[in-house]
Amino acid sequence: MNDFPRLPLGQWVENGIDYITVTFGVFFDVIKFIIASVADGMNIVFTSPPFWVMLIIFAVVAFIARGWVFSLGTTVSFLLILSLDQWDNAMDTLALVLVAAAIAVVISVPLGILAAKYQTVSTIVKPILDFLQTMPAFVYLIPALILFRIGDVPGIVATVLFALAPGVRLTELGIRGVDKEVVEAGQAFGSSPSRILRQIQLPLALPSIMAGINQVIMLSLSMVVIASMVGAGGLGKPVIQSLSRADVSLGFEAGLSVVLLAIFLDRLTASFGTGKGYFRFIMDSFNFRGRSAEANAAEADGTNATTSAASTEPAELTPPVR
């Protein structure tokens, strides 16, 4: 076994990353500037207002999403985070999670739609998603750290890669799960593929898509804590400090804050997918939910159907005037 030649795969990867860093250094600097600017802006939005202003906003959003019980639980949870002196860290973590999740959703949902529409795209994407899901979380930090250096940006990039897969898979699953008869009904009315996608497939696949977004946010939250090892801020810092100093109290307080934040984000996004609370009323007012699939299909191209019916209707015969 010792005589078997060793494959220098790791050295090849290192040489490839060095080549990318030297050749596309300006490109990665631009990406770093854009992501850092967005993250700093989001951080200012969450940390600049007084805590009671953000507390009211969180309570109102929770009330719209699920009602007064969830609003009360949200208020108590964030007051507990405030009493643990973890408010600033929680707001930093929330900002990083939202930025990373937004980037992951912008990439994953269109990619899932393409994978559902084209079998070739699905065949190419699936092994890549398998690779991303099976790779250990800490491995994502190494190339991100080399390309973007220490700070929030490598943590966000690693988080996006780590959380990307569920959004793609569940979007593809939701669109493929739409009843084909409903799609055929829309096609029978002469509607375009883009209109079928917008008015039939996406509304019916919304619960599955929102479940994917929910998983993206949850994975982003777990990865943002790990990303503190490369300089990202938030609740990951006290967690790392508690590990290095064996500080049980600090680790418990920071961990509890992460759990409360995760519960809030999980219940919030889950309510958007199932249409609970006043969110359902808002969506129904815009005719996006609460309608039958047949109604969406029938209205996918109502103008064309009306015009076609008018053109085929026989003209009324007028008796001759004597």
159-199 pLDDT per residue, tens = 888 888 888 999 988 888 888 888 888 888 877 888 888 88
The arithmetic mean of pLDDT across residues 27-36, rounded, is 86
The answer on pLDDT for 243 being more than 80 is no
**Tokens at residue 203, please?**
């509304």
- Ordered by where they begin, the domains of the chain are 24-298 (1.10.3720.10)
The answer on pLDDT for 148 being more than 50 is yes
**Tokens at residue 259, please?**
């759990």
Crossing angle (nearest 10°) for helices 248-274 and 51-66:
40
227 closest CA partner among 312, 157, 129 = 157
pLDDT band at 2 (very low <50, low <70, confident <90, very high): low
Q: What is the DSSP string of 231-287?
A: T--STHHHHHHHHHHT-HHHHHHHHHHHHHHHHHHHHHHHHHHHT-HHHHHHHHHTT
Query: CA-to-CA distance for 49 and 51, rounded, in angstroms?
Result: 6
**pTM assigned to the model:** 0.78
Q: What is the mean pLDDT of the chain?
A: 79
What is the DSSP secondary structure assignment for residue 319, as one 8-state letter?
P
The answer on pLDDT for 261 being more than 80 is yes
Identify the pLDDT of residue 282. Answer: 56
Please report where in the chains the tokens 């053109």 appear, as a residue: 311
pLDDT band at 78 (very low <50, low <70, confident <90, very high): very high
